[in-house]
Amino acid sequence: MGQDQIERNMGVQPLDGIMTEHELGNHDLVTSSQEPMTHKAVQRARKGRRLTKHMKQRMADALNLLLKQKGVEIERPWTVKDLFTY
């Protein structure tokens, strides 16, 4: 890989672990999102494929909304920094 290329695969992200812990599927996140989001985007987020800042924020917003709808108690809303390591 050349020096001018950006590493795009960042490995499995914390988002994946949180979703697995709460038994949430990609479809759950897509349907809870108030902004357009695809199943493919969620899969890419979980596997660590690089996303835009805006899409990472959409993932965080959708996750927080989904957990609230399911009645899951959390100390504070998840942030982008909590869900992604890049």
- Residue-wise pLDDT tens digits, 24-56: 999 999 999 999 999 999 999 999 999 999 999
- In-domain check, residue 7: no
- In-domain check, residue 8: no
Number of domains in the chain: 1
Mean pLDDT of the chain: 92
Lowest mean pLDDT among 7-11, 54-58, 60-64, 74-78: 7-11
Host domain of residue 38? 14-83
Contacts of residue 13, defined as CB under 8 A and 6 or more positions apart, other chains included, come to 45, 46, 47, 48, 83, 84, 85
**pLDDT value, residue 65:** 96
- In-domain check, residue 2: no
